[in-house]
Amino acid sequence: MVNGDSERKYQRRIVGLRVDASTYADATARVILAAKQQEAFWLCPACVQTVLEAHRSPSFKRVMDTATLVTTDGMPLVWSMSLMEFPTLSASTVRLLPNTFSKSAAVSDLPVGFYGASQDTLDNS
């Protein structure tokens, strides 16, 4: 997608939570670019529970609003974004993104780390 102020046109609020329209390729490219430029980047996959928690807790919503990219994680959010005519990640975001990022990072010769990852996740990334 695009960076800067024009990025807002690719964002919508679902029950108050900002969700960004994004594809696997876009999310991966943005993470890799931030890594190459040594910039902080926080990608947060959001599911229905995330949306509800952000609605119930203003402090949680404020934290979520600081994420660089909030992607869809689960069909209800995918459907919501589709109704708003935006491309989105598929429902399997959490499961597939680490592998997608790892492969792109390897091509770009960038180190990768996963905070809180299980050994199984690390072995399959």
Query: In the chain, which residue ranges form alpha helices assigned H by DSSP?
Result: 24-36, 48-56, 58-65, 75-83, 93-107, 119-123
- Tell me the pLDDT of the chain averaged across its residues: 82
Quote the pLDDT of residue 87.
66
Higher pLDDT, 122 or 1: 122
Quote the pLDDT of residue 91.
59
Residue 75: domain span: 5-123
**Cα gap 82→25, rounded to integer Å:** 17
Q: Which residue has the tokens 């696997």?
A: 24
What's the domain count of the chain? 1
Higher pLDDT, 65 or 25: 65
**Cα gap 33→41, rounded to integer Å:** 10
**Using one digit for the tens of pLDDT, what is the confidence trace for 98-107?**
778 888 888 8
Quote the pLDDT of residue 90.
62
Q: Which residue has the tokens 């609605």?
A: 55
User: Which pTM was predicted?
Assistant: 0.77
